[in-house]
Amino acid sequence: MEDKEIPCMTGRFDRLSLNRFTPEDKAVGVAVSAVLAGTVGLAVFSPLADGSAAAETPAQASVVAEKGTAEKGTVSHGSAKTAKVSAAVQAERQGFKVAPHAVKPDEVIKLAEKQVGVHEGKGGETKYHDWYISTPHAKQTAARDGGFPVKDYRGAQWCNMFVSWLGAQTGVKNMGWDAYTVQHATWFKDTGRWGHEAKPGAVVFFDWQDGSDGGINDIDHVGLVVKDNGDGTVNTVEGNTDNSVNQKVRQKSQIVGFGYPDYAS
């Protein structure tokens, strides 16, 4: 089926689609989300935020640990190595393949392009579903979005799981993880990482109905920017497109906005 007809997180997740709600329903939903965010903290949006937008990654934690030890005049190669190992273990527990570190956009783009051609298996499942469900973050987002069982993510629309997987595999700082496009875009905006420039490696959010005139609550789909072609189009790599990972050329008029991870310069 053509990807335009399948907003991410539909199907068994129709109850999460704000497009189906009246303006009054949306207002109530926003209020409930605010309460959940205040109760659970930013950890529901970013797996390593630890309730604070300032606390980013295990890698940073290791730097802080080493700095503190050095200030006491007791730093050693052994303690530094231990801190780095601890950071790597913590990152792995969260779902990272490697601890977050300085990553250039090209590294993420190359990984995305290597995924082109990966198709859904039985029941619409992919390795991206398997990875997302394995992370503690999945429990947080499931609780945030209605309290459904984590297993319900299996076979769900997976464009956002794909983008999140790219960040986890490469260790990009502040790419954010989610299975719901609206919440992921909201996280980018709330953390000051939202804009309208098609930068390579940016996370791009689409609205098939209203395009660039739409708002974050109307977002249907997400992908990764490869290149701004300078002619009103953008090259992308997207998951859950024709039931697989595909390269696409998209009109900018279809784009609501972009999320910007903290890439190395």
Question: How much of the chain, in percent, has pLDDT values that exceed 70?
Answer: 68
- Residue 201 pLDDT greater than 80, yes or no: yes
> What are phi and psi for residue 256, nearest 5 degrees?
-80, -40
Judge whether 173 lies within some domain: yes
User: In the structure, what pLDDT confidence band is assigned to residue 198 with cuts at 50, 70 and 90?
Assistant: very high
Judge whether 115 lies within some domain: yes
| 199 compared with 6, residue with greater pLDDT | 199
Cα four-point dihedral sign 233, 46, 104, 54: positive
Query: How many domains are contained in the chain?
Result: 1
Inter-residue contact 201 to 108 (CB < 8 Å): yes
CA distances from 59 to 102, 119, 166, 240 (A): 10, 33, 18, 31
- Residue 91 pLDDT greater than 70, yes or no: yes
Judge whether 87 lies within some domain: no
Average pLDDT, the chain: 79
pLDDT score of 76: 58
Q: How do residues 38-76 score in pLDDT, each as one tens digit? A: 322 223 334 433 332 222 333 333 333 334 444 444 545
Q: How do residues 207-225 score in pLDDT, each as one tens digit? A: 999 999 999 999 999 999 9
- Residue 18 pLDDT greater than 70, yes or no: no
User: How far is residue 84's CA from residue 99's CA, in Å, rounded to a whole number?
Assistant: 9
225 is in which domain, residue-wise? Answer: 3-37+100-259
CATH number at residue 132: 3.90.1720
Judge whether 46 lies within some domain: no
Judge whether 129 lies within some domain: yes
User: How far is residue 66's CA from residue 59's CA, in Å, rounded to a whole number?
Assistant: 11
User: How far is residue 237's CA from residue 7's CA, in Å, rounded to a whole number?
Assistant: 16
Mean pLDDT confidence for 4-31:
40
Judge whether 82 lies within some domain: no
Judge whether 95 lies within some domain: no
Question: How much of the chain, in percent, has pLDDT values that exceed 90?
Answer: 66
Judge whether 154 lies within some domain: yes
